[in-house]
Amino acid sequence: MKLIFISGGVISGIGKGISAASIGLLLKKHSINVSFLKCDPYINVDAGTMNPIEHGEVFVLDDGYEIDMDGGHYERFTDISLSKYNSITTGQIYSQVIKNERNLKYDGACVEVIPHIREEIITRIKESYDSHDVLIIEIGGTVGEYQNDIYYEAERYLKQKLGADLLHIHIGYLPVPNSIGEMKTKPTQQSVILLNQRGIFPDIIIGRSEKTIDSIRKKKISIATNVGEENIFSNIDVNSIYKVPKLFYSQKLDLRIIELLNLKSQKIDFSDWDNLIKKIDNTPKQSINIGIIAKYHTSGKFSLEDSYVSVIEAIKSACWELNIAFKLKWIDAENFSEKDISSCDGFIVPGGFGKRGIDGKIKAIKYARENNKPYLGLCLGMQLAAIEFAKNVCSIKDANSEEVDEFAKNKIIHIMPEQEKKLLDKNYGGSMRLGAWKCVLEKNTLAYKSYNKSQISERHRHRYEFNNSYEEIFEKNGMIFSGKSIDGNLVEIMELKEHPFFVGVQFHPELKSRPLSPHPLFSKFISVIIEQNGTI
């Protein structure tokens, strides 16, 4: 078993996820079969029950597992499809150990954090490693926090058996305080001391800083931490996270890891990423404004961008591909005027839950429909497009979603019977349609033209569905159901016949967009905006 542990020091948001994803990409380019494991120290069994304001976006995998936003970085950088084996939380570990204890699996032993919790973590690491060449394990949080200590303990214990096959990479902080104007190494020295106190001696340090670490600072860090200067690398601030793999590659971090882990290197081709970077650095003459009507606004540790990171990345990738600059206009669903939306060239209503902000989103959708402005509705965005259409085109005045008003007479969006029981039992975790579902596309539709194939697979995360009893009246009024589940029972995509681009999807296409292969629906949405603006 060959493992790379990644830890971070001093501050959160130091870039552990991006570093892990970049290292994964580099190793993959050397034909090393790499996988990931994110260890999250929270008690939640998965990220699914967390409000995005608190914890950033929930990233859904093909198997329906709900992971936090680092999963998105891993997939976008490496194009590997992750599964439940790529994430563990403290909640899962403890519930498994408690379940084992109740099932008398410990032969009457007194069940304790050490060894039993530690053993359970190691079992999960082994499962996750499976038949890969290397498993990259990112320990959530920063070293020194009470809550992630047990993961370091599991690593310490594994190191006894694995020796040189276990590598620890520490991401250290190297601030340049304004008042001093000099790069300071103490924060990194001190976070390494915290690691050492836990019996961990890092092999490689990656310094997060504004500028490259000079040789004087490298020496200081090396003397204080016992990490050789040749094993200290820089991760400087760059204007795009997709530049980090090249940054590591140019410092030969990949070769260093390969040597230390006794793996085989090969000549790698970086042209695809070089091309991407070229596109990112292009300065297109034209720019478009995309309005995102959202409600998970900045609060606490996480920002609005974190709540919608995959949507933003999907827009970026499509715009880079089409060589167009864009501005995101964040429109607060609860408080905006017509002036705020009239400067937008296209609109997105992303996923969301609950009643708050619904009316504003419907108002913006009406504006897009009536003014022929391209509209892409993602999950809730499709549901609300259906309600707006029912109300304002089909004249179904009290049209609503069961999520908003369970007593509404016309529930255009309703709960599926199998989900209803779970909700009655207040069993909210895992009570949704989750993960990849196949969808059949109707020929001669915008959806078909975007994907250019008749069957697709997309990821879902929702409790409510389009109510098929309204299909007929919708069709009569010009709505096309251009995508349906294989059995034809579930509406997956709807689009307006007489509109340049008015498409709602019950799934989350943003989760499958990659920087090297933008999602076809986002590309189509952006290209219709460009066409409308007369720029191509």
What residues are annotated to the active site?
Answer: 379, 508, 510
Of 353, 392, 393, 533, the one binding ligand GLN (CB under 6 A) is 353
Of 30, 168, 461, 524, the one binding ligand GLN (CB under 6 A) is 461
247-268 burial code (b ≥16 CB/10 A, e <16): bbbebebbebbbebbebebeee
- Beta carbon nearer to ligand GLN, 260 or 416: 416
380 touches ligand GLN by CB under 6 A: yes
- Beta carbon nearer to ligand GLN, 116 or 484: 484
Structure tokens given for 149: 């200590």
Q: What's the CA gap between 203 and 162, in Å, rounded?
A: 14
Half-sphere exposure of 354 toward its Cβ, with a 13 Å CA cutoff?
Answer: 8
CB of 471 to ligand GLN, least distance (A): 18
> Of 139-147, 332-340, 448-456, 460-468, which segment contacts ligand GLN by CB under 6 A?
460-468
> Of 33-41, 46-54, 104-112, 462-470, which segment contacts ligand GLN by CB under 6 A?
462-470
Of 9, 144, 351, 357, the one binding ligand GLN (CB under 6 A) is 351
Half-sphere exposure of 224 toward its Cβ, with a 13 Å CA cutoff?
Answer: 20
- Beta carbon nearer to ligand GLN, 195 or 379: 379
Q: What's the CA gap between 361 and 364, in Å, rounded?
A: 5
CB of 415 to ligand GLN, least distance (A): 8
CB of 425 to ligand GLN, least distance (A): 17
Structure tokens given for 60: 């859904």
> Of 68-76, 269-277, 360-368, 375-383, which segment contacts ligand GLN by CB under 6 A?
375-383
CB of 331 to ligand GLN, least distance (A): 17
Residue 389 CA, chain-centre distance (Å), reads 31
Contact set for ligand GLN, span 29-88 (CB under 6 A)? none
352 touches ligand GLN by CB under 6 A: yes
Pairing mode of beta strands 479-485, 433-441: antiparallel
**8 A C-beta contact, residue 189 and residue 219:** no
**8 A C-beta contact, residue 176 and residue 184:** yes
Q: Which of helix, strand or coil describes residue 122?
A: helix
- Beta carbon nearer to ligand GLN, 352 or 515: 352
- Beta carbon nearer to ligand GLN, 169 or 505: 505
Of 135, 364, 365, 379, the one binding ligand GLN (CB under 6 A) is 379
Q: Write the CA distances from 167 to 1, 35, 158, 205, 244, integer angstroms.
A: 11, 15, 11, 11, 20
Q: Which of helix, strand or coil describes residue 424?
A: helix
Q: What's the CA gap between 30 and 24, in Å, rounded?
A: 10
- Beta carbon nearer to ligand GLN, 306 or 345: 306
Of 463, 512, 519, 524, the one binding ligand GLN (CB under 6 A) is 463
> Of 169-177, 338-346, 377-385, 511-519, which segment contacts ligand GLN by CB under 6 A?
377-385
Name the burial class of residue 181, with classes exposed (0-12), middle (13-18) and buried (19+) by CB atoms within 10 angstroms of its CB: exposed
> Of 88-96, 150-158, 220-228, 456-464, which segment contacts ligand GLN by CB under 6 A?
456-464
CB of 129 to ligand GLN, least distance (A): 32
Torsion on CA atoms 88, 90, 96, 97, rounded to nearest 10: 130
Residue 317 CA, chain-centre distance (Å), reads 14
- Beta carbon nearer to ligand GLN, 209 or 383: 383
**8 A C-beta contact, residue 466 and residue 383:** yes
Whether residue 374 is preceded by a cis peptide bond, meaning omega within 30 degrees of 0, is no
- Beta carbon nearer to ligand GLN, 155 or 403: 403
**8 A C-beta contact, residue 517 and residue 442:** no
Of 2, 73, 462, 519, the one binding ligand GLN (CB under 6 A) is 462
- Beta carbon nearer to ligand GLN, 269 or 425: 425
416 touches ligand GLN by CB under 6 A: no
CB of 461 to ligand GLN, least distance (A): 5
Of 296, 375, 451, 464, the one binding ligand GLN (CB under 6 A) is 464
CB of 350 to ligand GLN, least distance (A): 7
Structure tokens given for 20: 């892990």
Structure tokens given for 523: 């590309």
Q: What's the CA gap between 500 and 125, in Å, rounded?
A: 49
Residue given tokens 């410092």 in the structure block: 251
Q: What's the CA gap between 60 and 71, in Å, rounded?
A: 9
CB of 401 to ligand GLN, least distance (A): 7
Instruction: List residues near ligand GLN by CB under 6 A.
Output: 351-353, 379-380, 383, 403, 461-464
